[in-house]
Amino acid sequence: MGIFGTDGVRGLANRDLTAELAVDLAVAAAHILGEVGAFADTRPTAVVARDPRASGEFLEAAVVAGLASAGVDVHRLGIVPTPGAAYLTAFLEADMGVMISASHNAMPDNGIKFLSRGGLKLDDELEKQIEQRLEEPWDRPTGADVGRIGDSHAGVGAYIKHLVASAPGRLDGLTIVLDCANGAAYETGPKVFEELGAKVIAIHAEPDGLNINLNCGSTHIEDLQRAVVEYGADAGFAFDGDADRCLAVDAKGELVDGDQILAILALAARDAGTLTDDTVVATVMSNLGFVQALSAAEITVIQTSVGDRYVLEAMRSGGYNLGGEQSGHVIMSDHATTGDGVLAAVHVAARMVMTGESLASMASVMKRLPQVLVNVPDVDKARADTDPVLRGEVAIASAKLGDTGRVLLRQSGTEPLVRVMVEASTHEEAAAVAAHLAEVVRANLAL
């Protein structure tokens, strides 16, 4: 199995993802991008950013060393959200970008993702070529041909300015709680909202290298829910460790998930006449209530495989400018090349001001159908789509649910595991169908 997953290389830092591997990845990426013409026959430059986790310090040093040894000039950005690294790759006209982060994973993990000129994620083919070049012999530059290394921390200010300029209106009068996950948005998130006029209460905005995502952020929404109610705030937003996603909380402390955020932004863009072809790209995991709500608003939903890279691919191929995932990745391609949690949060808050509606009122445009997910481990996932007994039971369940629900079976990309997802009009019905199908998977796909 290749070392690249759906979002770069990720694993336990200093075990799976070592300094040696980081150096080799950086060298191989520089060579491959150079060979495909990404450097335009000029002395190449790269930007390197990271989130605050402790292992990012030695991995940043390793990546920078690898790039410089391959003849690439490096600008270190410091702690910047993933979408900030993507924006600054384009803004600073760098030939490539590197983000060191494990996103929403726990602190011991880390990851490396590469960006091409313009701040775009590399496609699968380029990542395969990078893997194939790891540890291969190569001609090392010497003398004046080695890369030079410098700091470019002022880039954070340019990213903040970009986010502020993207807002369709000011946020004066709003009180907003931001859970920064002790991650990469601990500085940019509060500053953007403050510059737009909101009163900001920031929680989990004191990263120490060890507390990123620790019982906070978009994977642990409880603190944000309590804080919004305690402070009487209008809304709250929670980012993950690298701030490429966000979830929201309304004034009563109720969760507003990625599907609801995407629905709010889709209606806002349609009303403004800026939603390309009145179409939104989502994944197969989006709640059926999301699809039904947008269909009622005469907005087309295109669904892809799970993963923001697949959403991005569909957006680019169709020229669409809005897409996202239930998990909180929202891609607004008029302003960003990747999911941007702070950007999405700003535009949702601006919609509140422009319409005078509460977040709860805006989120009510869609009714979330109860959704139950059961993971079935230690099975032959490759037969999930072909086993005749399983296919028959899925067909029976789907027919029974009709238009009021659906069944989705997904193979894990990294484990011998099948995910059974069922939506239905009641939680009890969804749970019963999911439990039955999980048993069918265990009985028929056992290893």
Residues catalogued as catalytic: 103
Checking DSSP bridges between strand 45-50 and strand 96-100, what pairing results, if any?
parallel
Classify residue 157 as exposed, middle or buried by CB count within 10 Å of its CB (0-12, 13-18, 19+): exposed
The answer to whether 113 and 7 have CB atoms below 8 angstroms apart is yes
Place of tokens 């986010």: 163
Place of tokens 């699809």: 291
CA distances from 313 to 11, 87, 91 (A): 25, 18, 22
Tell me which H or E stretch contains 91: helix 82-91
Which amino acid is it at 268? Answer: A
Give CA–CA dist 304/311, Å, rounded. 6
For residue 35, what is the DSSP state? Answer: H
Which amino acid is it at 220? Answer: H
Residues in the chain: 447
Number of C-beta neighbours around residue 161 at 10 A: 13
Residue of 344, 56, 323 whose CA lies nearest to 183: 56
